[in-house]
Amino acid sequence: MTTRNTREKRARLQRDFIPNFEIRSLLVIATFAMGAVAAHAQSGAAPFPANGQQPPVAMTAVTDTASARTVAQNGASRSQLEAAFNRADRNRDGKLSRAEAEHFPLLVERFDLIDGNHDAFLSRDEFALKTRFAAQCSTALVVREQHGRDESSFAAPPPAAVVFAESTQDVADAVKLASQHNVPVIPFGVGTSLEGHLLAVQGGISIDVSRMNQVLHINAEDLTVTVQPGVTRKQLNEAIKSTGLFFPIDPGADATLGGMSATRASGTNAVRYGTMRENVLALEVVTASGEVIRTGTRAKKSSAGYDLTRLMVGSEGTLGVITEVTVRLYPLPEAISAAVCFFPSIEAAVRTTIEVIQLGVPIARVELIDHNTVRMVNAHSKLTLREEPMLLMEFHGLRADFAPGRLPAGVGGRGRCQRPALLSGRPCR
């Protein structure tokens, strides 16, 4: 009797409900569901859905429709929404129109929220990102344009979407989804690049890691610190200033440590402290498949295994997305002095730089400017600098290192050297 009643109810439901995808009566649906479960149990089969299996299509449609209001209030699971998308995508083209979605309450309730482009059309990758990240994913044009340009002069279309990652798991999930849908991924820090690293030349999604901005571990005893990739250079130095240490790599802009590692940033301090290549000890990286790996250690001496840290530093986002960085720290110098020196020729300026380094003078920065550049600086900034080859130098060391007579006199031949007026106003030796 139960089986016969169930068949009759199923036939009535298929006649009234399935062709139109509408609910005629919650009572009928609830009765049908209970009868189907009872009949299945009497057959001696395993309870369904078993692990790894999907319930029958008709039953799934009923379940999705009947619970639409509850799900709208409590939030649908990712699997429920993806299943609804797959069934609504009748053309199997990975694209969903509003007309296709209107028969599925799970999708109708969210179409306007997910449809960031407001074109009544959803692609599968956009739907997947919005389903997983919700408010952390934006397809607003102004946000995409902000993440589609840097400080370079190059122009390119903006990315299709921007994901604001807040954890390593967020980055891994975004990369996995992008991999599944064959969509390019572009890591984004604060957008200070000058070389076009951030441009979506082949489309794709931008993963903004600026919200991952925590200093995780300060290890003053072994002169290291571990940070998330969104921590900027100035933020790091502010966090560790009480330890008497500082992070010296200065590319000019207040860039993030993740971006500096990915681009192997250097800056003017490279003369004394090296570049990011020498100062990154360990990394946490999400690979292109979404796998999270760790490279390197805090140990000063280690030769075991492949040096994957050096492989990732400077890879510019092509091998993975950096989600954690461990870098070296240095003691704050007791004294800092600067000098501006003019030379009769480029050769004399270069020879002076070589001899200063060879003599062990504690030089930290040095920049060479030729006479044409000096002329342009004068015109732009209304200065009166001598239009000759120039060296801008900065020295870090002990106060005794800068005492009169300590720096070698006559280094490089005929250079004329002076300290800036802001420092002392006296000629340097």
- Region 161-178: what's the mean pLDDT? 92
Cα–Cα distance between 49 and 55 in angstroms, integer? 5
The whole-number average pLDDT for the span 282-296 is 95
Query: Do the beta carbons of residue 370 and residue 346 sit within 8 Å?
Result: yes
Predicted pLDDT of residue 302:
72
Max CA pair span of the chain: 111
Please say whether the beta carbons of 318 and 175 come within 8 A: no
Over the stretch 65-110, which tens digit does the pLDDT of each residue have?
333 333 333 345 555 555 655 665 555 555 555 555 555 555 555 5
pLDDT confidence tier of residue 203, bands split at 50, 70 and 90: confident
Q: CB under 8 Å to 362, separation ≥6 — which residues?
A: 272, 395, 396, 397, 401
DSSP state letters, 393-405: EEEEE-GGGGSTT
* 126-135, 193-202, 212-221, 276-285: least confident range: 126-135
Rounded Cα distance between 104 and 124, Å, is 16
Mean pLDDT of 55-66: 33
Which residues lie across from 342 on neighbouring strands? 390, 416
Least confident of 26-40, 96-110, 177-191: 26-40
Do 235 and 210 touch, CB atoms closer than 8 A?
Answer: no
Which CATH number applies to 135-208: 3.30.43.10, 3.30.470.20, 3.40.47.10, 1.10.10.10?
A: 3.30.43.10
Query: Average pLDDT for residues 165-192, to the nearest whole number?
Result: 91
Domain spans, the chain:
2-115, 135-208, 215-331, 335-418
Give the fold, CATH level 3, of 335-418: Alpha-Beta Plaits (3.30.70)
- Whole-model pTM? 0.67
Residues 393-427: tens digit of each pLDDT: 999 988 877 766 555 544 444 445 544 433 333 33
Fold of 215-331: 3.30.465
